[in-house]
Amino acid sequence: MASNSNNRPVLILGAAPRISVAVARSLYRHGIPVEVASFLGTERELRSRAIRAFHRLPLKELYPTKFLDLLLALIRERGFDMALPTSDPALSALAEHYDRLAPLLHVGCPPPSAVERVLNKALTLEAAKKCGIHVPFTCTVGNMTELEQVAAQLRFPLVAKPGQKGAKVFRVRTFPTLEKLSEALRMNDPGLVLLQEYCPGIGVGVEMLLHKGECVAAFQHRRLKEAPASGGVAVMAVAEALDPGLRDASLKLLRALEWEGPAMVEFRVDRQTGTCVLMEVNGRYWGTSSLPILAGVDFPLYHWQILHGEQPRVPGKYAVGMRWRWTPGYLDRLYSIVANSRGGISSTTSRIRELAQTTIDFFPTIHEALWSWSDPEPFFSELAASIYEHLTAAVNWLLRKLIPGGMSRYAKIYLRLRPEARPIYAKLRTADALGTNRENGQAFLRTARSVVFVCYGNIMRSPMAEAMLKRVLAEQGSSGIGVKSAGLHARVGREAHPGALKVSREIGIPLDNHRAQLLSPEMVASSDLIFAMDFENLAELYAVYPEARHKIHMLSAFAEGKQRNREITDPYYGDEETTRQCYSILMQCVGNLARSVLHARTLVRH
C-alpha cells in the first residue's frame, strides 16, 4: 500500500466538499498528505483532518497570469508531486497549463486535446455517435434569435444545460414549454446553452479508471433522487452491479476520447424499453465519489498508485446495494419541491409523498456523503452553509412579496453582490434616494489619456459609450486619448445584444464588429478614467479595485437635469424603445464628457 512517511503531498484543485473531502480522506488514510486550493470565489475554505492546508489562489477569470504564477510557486514551495481536479473549472485550468505543470508533477488529467473532447459536450456526443451509442437530440443556442430559429425542431419537455462544462450559468433544468425556456434565457443571460430532448428513465453512472486504454477499476451507481427533482445532480444513489453493456459502451467511448485517469460516464436508462442514452462524461472526480470508496472501490488511491508506478489491488467485487445520501443537496431538492421554485418539476412528484419519504431517506443504514465520526467538521460546515443559503432565498422571496417593486429589485441586486460590495451599494442607493450624490465628474480631465466605460456584460451600454466617444473625438480631430469598454461579468467574444445592434444601426454608430471583453486589473491600472453606468457597477468597482477609486466615476455625472448623477439603467430586459432612450442619455453624457476633456486639454496647453 501507499502508507509511506516519505510520500510527497497531493494538491486537490477545487473545493466542492462532497468531492474534495472524499478524495482527501481516501489518500490521507494511506499516509499521503493532501492540501486543497481554490480559485473560485463561490467555493468556501475546506477544513478537515484529511486536509493539511487550504490555499486561496487568485480568481483565474480576472487574474489569469497571477493565477498561474502563484499556482506554480505554490507547487514548488509545497513540494506537490500530483495535482487532481475535482471540478470542471479545475480540470480546464490544469489542461490549459498542462505543458507548464507536467514537468513539475503528475497532472491528474490527460493532455488538453482529450480534456477538450470531454468539456465540450458537442464533441463528446459526436464521439459517442461514432461509437454507436445513442444520444439525445441536441442543439446549442447563444441568444434569443438563435432560439427562435430552432424552436420548430424542439420537443418539450427538454433539458437545458451549459454548452461548456463549468460555465457560470443556471443549473441543469427541465423546461415544459418554449415560453418557460424563453423567459429563463432572457432573465439569466446564460450564454451558450445546450438544449437536449428529455429522455425518460433513471440516471446511471459508470465510473472508470483508465490507464493506457485499459480499465483498471470500474463501478456503477443508480440515481435514486436528484436536485432539482426534474433532473440535476444526484442527492441519493445506490451501488449497482456492473451492467456488461453499459461497461463496454463506457470503455469504448473513453478510449475514443483518448481518456486517461478517472471518469464517470452518465446514461439515462429506460428499463421498461431497455433503451439507454448517453447524457455526459465527467472527466474528473464526480459528485458521488464517496460512494464507490465506501463500497470498496478506492479510485483516488488506485489513481495515485498508477501514477507512482505501483500496482493497485482492486477487489473483484464491491458492496452492491449500498445506499448513499448527500444531505445539503437533499435539502435543496426538498426546498425546490415545497416552494416549486425551479419550474419544470414533474406533475407526478407529490409534495406530501416526498415529505413522508424523508424519514425513510434518513435511516442510519444510508451512508452520508460527508459524515465521519472522526472528522465531522466538513459535514456540519456544508450543512450550515446550505441552511443559510435557503434562508437567504426565503428572505429574498419575502422581500419581493412585501416590498414595492423598485425596492425589491434593489434588494435582489444587494443580495447578489459580493459581500464587500453590499454596504457600498446600500450607501450609494441611500444617497441617491436622499438626493445627496454630488459628483462633478471633472477630476483628472486635464491629464486624461485613457478612458474605459464599464457595465455588466459589455454588450449594450459600455460599447455604445465607447463608440460614441471615439466618434466625437474623431470629428473634433482630437488624438492621443485611448477609449475602451469592458464588462464586469462579460462573456469574452460575445457579440452586441440584438436590440443594441438594431438601434446602433439606426443612429449610425453600428456595433456589428464589437466583441465583449472582461474588465481586467491591467485595464484598470492603465486607465486614467473609468466610468460606471449604474450603482451596481460602481459598488463592484469600488470593492474589487479600491486602489483605483479616485479615478472611478459615474458617467451620469456628465448628464443634465434630473438624470445627473443618477443611474443609466440597463436596457437588457427592455424593448427597442428602452434601448433608444438609454442611447439618447449616453449621447448626452458622452458629448458633455468629450467637450469637458477637450476644454481641459486646451487649458493645459495655454
Instruction: Specify the CATH number for the domain of residue 598.
Output: 3.40.50.2300
Reply yes or no on whether the pLDDT at 111 is more than 80. Answer: yes
Q: What angle do CA 71, 262, 1 make, to 5 degrees?
A: 90
Q: What's the rounded Cα separation, in Å, for the pair 293 and 191? A: 36
pLDDT tens for 233-280 read 899 999 999 999 999 999 999 999 999 999 999 999 988 888 899 999
Statement to judge: residues 539 and 495 lie in one domain: yes
Q: What was the pLDDT predicted at 408?
A: 62
Q: Is 173 left (phi over 0), alpha (psi -120 to 50) or beta?
A: beta
Q: What's the rounded Cα separation, in Å, for the pair 267 and 139? A: 18
Residue 337 pLDDT level (bands cut at 50, 70, 90): confident
Residue holding cell 407529490?
350
Q: What was the pLDDT predicted at 201?
A: 86
Residue holding cell 502563484?
70
Statement to judge: residues 562 and 534 lie in one domain: yes
Of 57, 107, 100, nearest to 80 by C-alpha is 107
Statement to judge: residues 67 and 33 lie in one domain: yes
Residue 175 pLDDT level (bands cut at 50, 70, 90): confident
Q: What was the pLDDT predicted at 41?
A: 76
Q: Is 508 left (phi over 0), alpha (psi -120 to 50) or beta?
A: left
Please identify, among 197, 215, 240, the residue that sits at the C-terminal boundary of a domain.
197
Residue 340 pLDDT level (bands cut at 50, 70, 90): low
Of 327, 228, 323, 214, nearest to 261 by C-alpha is 214
Give the type of residue at 389. E
Of 398 and 4, the one with more pLDDT: 398
Q: What's the rounded Cα separation, in Å, for the pair 137 and 125? A: 10
Statement to judge: residues 82 and 185 lie in one domain: no
In a domain, 289, yes or no: no
> Which of the residues 429, 461, 494, 566 is marked catalytic?
461
pLDDT tens for 438-468 read 665 554 565 678 999 999 999 999 999 999 9
H/E element holding 397?
Answer: helix 377-402
Q: What's the rounded Cα separation, in Å, for the pair 188 and 542? A: 25
Instruction: Specify the CATH number for the domain of residue 90.
Output: 3.40.50.20
Q: Which of 76-90, 183-197, 381-395 has the highest mean pLDDT?
A: 76-90
What are the distances in angstroms from CA 169 to CA 38, 118, 238, 530, 557?
19, 18, 29, 28, 33
Reply yes or no on whether the pLDDT at 343 is more than 50. Answer: no
All three cell numbers of 399, joined, read 422581500
* Percentage above 70 pLDDT, the chain: 89
pLDDT (average), residues 562-588: 89
CB 135: neighbour CB atoms within 10 A? 18
Q: What is the radius of gyration, based on Cα positions, of the chain?
A: 27
All three cell numbers of 558, joined, read 456628465
Reply yes or no on whether the pLDDT at 170 is more than 70. Answer: no
Mean pLDDT score across all residues of the chain: 87
Q: What was the pLDDT predicted at 429?
A: 84
Q: What was the pLDDT predicted at 176?
A: 83
In a domain, 595, yes or no: yes
Phi, psi of 114 (to 5 degrees): -70, -40
pLDDT (average), residues 565-576: 88
Mode of pairing for the β-strands spanning 138-141 and 193-197: antiparallel
pLDDT tens for 506-563 read 999 999 999 999 999 999 999 999 999 999 999 999 999 999 999 999 999 898 877 7
Statement to judge: residues 462 and 600 lie in one domain: yes
Q: What was the pLDDT predicted at 439?
A: 62
Reply yes or no on whether the pLDDT at 2 is more than 60. Answer: no
pLDDT tens for 135-155 read 988 888 877 778 888 888 888
Q: What's the rounded Cα separation, in Å, for the pair 423 and 15? A: 28
- Return the SS3 of 344: coil
Total domains in the fold of the chain: 4
Q: What's the rounded Cα separation, in Å, for the pair 550 and 553? A: 8
Give the type of residue at 215. C
The helix-helix angle for 112-119 and 121-130 (nearest 10°) equals 90
Reply yes or no on whether the pLDDT at 167 is more than 60. Answer: no
In a domain, 598, yes or no: yes
Burial of 212 (0-12, 13-18, 19+ CB in 10 A): exposed
Reply yes or no on whether the pLDDT at 58 is more than 90. Answer: no
Reply yes or no on whether the pLDDT at 5 is more than 70. Answer: no
- Return the SS3 of 250: helix
Cβ 193 vs Cβ 164: under 8 Å? no
In a domain, 229, yes or no: no
Reply yes or no on whether the pLDDT at 346 is more than 60. Answer: no
Reply yes or no on whether the pLDDT at 74 is more than 90. Answer: yes
Q: Is 455 a catalytic residue?
A: yes
Statement to judge: residues 600 and 471 lie in one domain: yes
| Residue 18 domain boundaries | 10-110
Residue 589 pLDDT level (bands cut at 50, 70, 90): very high
Statement to judge: residues 415 and 506 lie in one domain: no
Residue 410 pLDDT level (bands cut at 50, 70, 90): confident
In a domain, 541, yes or no: yes
Reply yes or no on whether the pLDDT at 341 is more than 50. Answer: no
Q: What was the pLDDT predicted at 27?
A: 97
Range in 100-114, 193-207, 371-385 with the lowest mean pLDDT: 193-207
Residue 158 pLDDT level (bands cut at 50, 70, 90): confident
In a domain, 557, yes or no: yes
Q: What's the rounded Cα separation, in Å, for the pair 430 and 255? A: 60
Cβ 456 vs Cβ 570: under 8 Å? yes
Please identify, among 434, 460, 484, the residue that sits at the C-terminal boundary of a domain.
434
Q: Is 605 a catalytic residue?
A: no
HSE-up (13 A, CA, CB side) for residue 416: 10
Range in 339-348, 369-378, 463-472, 593-602 with the lowest mean pLDDT: 339-348
Instruction: Specify the CATH number for the domain of residue 154.
Output: 3.30.1490
Helices assigned H by DSSP within 268-376 = 290-295, 299-307, 327-339, 351-361
> Which of the residues 199, 455, 582, 589 is marked catalytic?
455
In a domain, 403, yes or no: yes
Q: What's the rounded Cα separation, in Å, for the pair 237 and 453? A: 49
Range in 38-47, 111-120, 285-294 with the lowest mean pLDDT: 38-47
All three cell numbers of 575, joined, read 424593448
What are the distances in angstroms from CA 387 to CA 318, 327, 328, 472, 567?
34, 11, 8, 53, 35
Statement to judge: residues 596 and 481 lie in one domain: yes
pLDDT (average), residues 7-36: 96
Please identify, among 405, 434, 463, the residue that sits at the C-terminal boundary of a domain.
434
What are the distances in angstroms from CA 459 to CA 26, 88, 184, 467, 498?
46, 26, 19, 12, 9
Q: Is 81 a catalytic residue?
A: no
Statement to judge: residues 421 and 563 lie in one domain: no
Of 441, 437, 439, nearest to 595 by C-alpha is 441
> Which of the residues 223, 570, 582, 601 is marked catalytic?
570
Of 438, 531, 477, 498, nearest to 141 by C-alpha is 498
Statement to judge: residues 524 and 502 lie in one domain: yes
Statement to judge: residues 398 and 468 lie in one domain: no
Q: What's the rounded Cα separation, in Å, for the pair 124 and 72? A: 30
Reply yes or no on whether the pLDDT at 4 is more than 70. Answer: no
Reply yes or no on whether the pLDDT at 80 is more than 70. Answer: yes
Statement to judge: residues 408 and 476 lie in one domain: no
- Return the SS3 of 445: helix
In a domain, 121, yes or no: no
CB within 8 Å of 587: residues ≥ 6 apart: 468, 507
Q: What was the pLDDT predicted at 98?
A: 97
CB within 8 Å of 57: residues ≥ 6 apart: 37, 38, 39, 67, 70, 71, 74
Cβ 176 vs Cβ 155: under 8 Å? no
